[in-house]
Amino acid sequence: SLNGVLYTQNELAEKYGYHDYTQKVGVLAQEVQKVLPEVVAPAPFDMDENGNSRSGENYLTIQYEKIVPIIVQAIKEQQLKISEKRKEEQTERK
């Protein structure tokens, strides 16, 4: 249910001090939050000293370093399924 996206910052991001218009790649925090809420956090630029949203929009950020172990495990599980499927197909051919 996650989709990789290409994006560039918009004028709203510039308002918050970002000035990098190079193309980026990522995933959408709102999609990630539905399946992996532990890797999504409030965006630091939008937090006041009390941990509240300055803008009232509750902007989010993704902690990509926390996604890596999950991806590694998913690849391992997928490879195991592929190996099992190949064994089944070899057994059926005999």
pLDDT tens sequence for the chain (94 residues): 899 999 998 888 888 888 999 999 999 999 999 999 999 999 998 999 999 999 999 999 999 999 999 999 999 999 999 999 999 988 888 7
E strand or H helix at 41: strand 40-42
Look at residue 18 in the predicted model and tell me its pLDDT.
86
H-assigned helices in 1-94: 11-15, 29-35, 64-93
pTM, to two decimals = 0.75
Structure token pair of residue 86: 């190949």
Q: CA torsion angle for 14, 55, 4, 19 (degrees, to 10)?
A: 10
